[in-house]
Amino acid sequence: MQANFHTLLWLLTAAASVVFGLSITSATTTTLGIDVEGSARLNGGSFQTSAITSYNGWQYAAFYNTSGTYAQNLVTLGRRKINPVAAWEFIVFKDYVQTTIDGHNTISLGISTGDGTIHLSYDHHDVPLHYRVSQQGVATNPASYTWSTALFGSTLNALPGATGIWTPVTYPRFERVDNDLFFELRIGASGSGDSYIYLYSSSTHSWSQVGRYLQGSDNNAYINGIDYLSGRLQASWTWRETPDVVTNHDLGYAYSDDKGLTWKNNAGTTIASMSAGTAIGPTTSGSIVYTIPQGSGILNQEGQIADAAGRFHVLNRETTSGTYLWYHYWRSATGIWTRNAISISGLGAPTATGLRGKLAIANSGELIALIPSNTNTEVYIYASTVAGSFKDWKLLWTGTGFSTEPLFDKARLKDQNILSVFFRQSGSYPDRKLQVIDFALGS
Ligand SMILES: *[C@@H]1O[C@H](CO)[C@@H](O)[C@H](O)[C@H]1NC(C)=O
């Protein structure tokens, strides 16, 4: 009898886990500060890489906090212990005042784990580089440093050690590469620009140029991101002909197995070599994985993520079916691409320049999509599984009262299986807060 009872329980539990799969078991909100005044979204932009990141049991979040005066915004850097979670503590850089009310001009944050340096780059839309870096060791032994702006150097207009072109800069991104750090940026302008990668060495504590890997031809590539995992760096992008978003076209993809020195197309053929001075352009052989004509709704800088099984995923949107739909594109470990409209009841349609979403990977392997409604203030978190061919999207969470492109802490998700998301509330200044919600994941 007892055995049967246990068998029944086991069956129920097994059935429940098949039905329910990944879930959010708790959501904890903390507040970072007050979003700045004005019509531009200076916090919570999809290209901010990263707004929030963690290392060694501590988490960091970068944002502009209000100074109380319109168009006088201050770079603010929070840190907190996350193992276990403690309160945020903040430093405010008063030696640099951000004054351009333009949603391009966000802050990006990166950590070189090898030497414990924290890197910040901020306030760009086709202007000279703004960059500052902490002393070594700050992220390695955080508890032994009082959180103070004195830990950081001043704003620089070049990366120390590197030869490069430092203006006009837009969209700085950091990405960890083993114990070191990549810096990726656009030089040029919308409709006419190139993308460069630099590498920070945690042994020499200095930067070097890897090269120009994407080169516009009277146009520019807008990347969904650069993701480094298991020795492979992967990028996906759309091409833009003019500053007008309707001239976006195609989905491009390339990868590098030598930290950006050479790049391969989907078939594995080398298509760019930094030492030879060659870059990927709009007509480079095998670099377009889906031909999507101009006027078909693909947006610049949406979501991408690599998974541990060698797959690579992209989130974007199209009107090619005749109606605006979200799309998931993914590459199998053997290089086969699949494109599926994301069909979920309750998920509204995207719009031409509506808020952009992100993709993440749970440690259990599910694909997570963080999608902001393009028509109201909701943000949705969904998950799908490899067993369901990533078409079995299931709603994990809905929140309301946001005007944000949801940004998450990739390192913490991997280390703690906690999806820690940076949110900007909707509403008017000064009620609009910047928050972090920690979603604990269960399965
Ligand atoms: C951010 O701005 C708010 C409103 O002025 C203020 O209360 C808060 O102390 C600021 N945060 C920091 C870290 O200065």
Residue nearest to atom 14 of ligand 1 (CA): 92
In testing the pocket of ligand 1, which one of 31, 32, 34 has its CB within 8 Å of the most ligand atoms?
Answer: 34
| Mean pLDDT, range 252-266, rounded to an integer | 98
Q: pLDDT band for position 191 (50/70/90)?
A: confident
66 or 3: whose pLDDT is higher?
A: 66
What's the gap in Å between 68 CA and the centre of ligand 1? 9
Q: pLDDT band for position 207 (50/70/90)?
A: very high
CB 337 less than 6 A from any atom of ligand 1:
no
Task: Report, in this order, helix, strand and coil percent for the chain, each rounded to 5.
Answer: 10, 45, 45
What's the gap in Å between 74 CA and the centre of ligand 1? 10
What's the gap in Å between 110 CA and the centre of ligand 1? 23
What's the gap in Å between 35 CA and the centre of ligand 1? 10
Separation between Cα atoms, residue 373 and residue 61, nearest integer Å: 24
Q: pLDDT band for position 14 (50/70/90)?
A: very low
Tell me the fold of 23-442: Neuraminidase (2.120.10)
What's the gap in Å between 32 CA and the centre of ligand 1? 9
Note the pTM of the prediction, 2 decimals. Answer: 0.95
| 77-81, 313-317, 343-347, 425-429: segment of lowest average pLDDT | 343-347
What's the gap in Å between 67 CA and the centre of ligand 1? 7
> Has residue 247 got a pLDDT over 90?
yes
Q: Which atom of ligand 1 is nearest to the CA of 33?
A: 1
Residue nearest to atom 9 of ligand 1 (CA): 33
CB 12 less than 6 A from any atom of ligand 1:
no
Q: pLDDT band for position 20 (50/70/90)?
A: low
C-alpha distances out from residue 219 to 166, 192, 299, 301, 318, Å:
19, 4, 15, 15, 20
pLDDT tens digits, residue range 285-335?
999 999 999 999 999 999 999 999 999 999 999 999 999 999 999 999 999
> Has residue 76 got a pLDDT over 60?
yes
Helix boundaries (H) for 55-95 = none
CB 68 less than 6 A from any atom of ligand 1:
yes
Residues above pLDDT 70, as percent of the chain: 95
Q: Which residues contact 322 (CB under 8 A, 6 or more apart)?
A: none
Q: Which residues contact 4 (CB under 8 A, 6 or more apart)?
A: none
Q: Which atom of ligand 1 is nearest to the CA of 74?
A: 14
What's the gap in Å between 141 CA and the centre of ligand 1? 26
First to last CA, the chain: 29
Q: Which atom of ligand 1 is nearest to the CA of 67?
A: 5
CB 33 less than 6 A from any atom of ligand 1:
yes
Report residue 141: phi and psi, to 5°.
Answer: -130, 65
Separation between Cα atoms, residue 415 and residue 56, nearest integer Å: 9
Q: Please, are residues 422 and 434 in contact by the beta-carbon 8 Å criterion?
A: yes
What's the gap in Å between 34 CA and the centre of ligand 1? 7
CB 43 less than 6 A from any atom of ligand 1:
no
| Mean pLDDT, range 80-99, rounded to an integer | 97
> Has residue 1 got a pLDDT over 90?
no
Mean pLDDT over each residue of the chain, to the nearest integer:
95
Q: pLDDT band for position 419 (50/70/90)?
A: very high
CB 92 less than 6 A from any atom of ligand 1:
yes
167 or 11: whose pLDDT is higher?
A: 167
CB 65 less than 6 A from any atom of ligand 1:
yes
Residues above pLDDT 90, as percent of the chain: 94
Separation between Cα atoms, residue 396 and residue 350, nearest integer Å: 19
Separation between Cα atoms, residue 425 and residue 431, nearest integer Å: 9
Q: Please, are residues 338 and 356 in contact by the beta-carbon 8 Å criterion?
A: no
CB 34 less than 6 A from any atom of ligand 1:
yes
CB 76 less than 6 A from any atom of ligand 1:
yes
In testing the pocket of ligand 1, which one of 65, 66, 435 has its CB within 8 Å of the most ligand atoms?
Answer: 65
Separation between Cα atoms, residue 172 and residue 223, nearest integer Å: 11
pLDDT tens digits, residue range 130-151?
999 999 999 999 999 999 999 9
What's the gap in Å between 76 CA and the centre of ligand 1? 9
Separation between Cα atoms, residue 422 and residue 296, nearest integer Å: 30
The full set of domain ranges for the chain reads 23-442
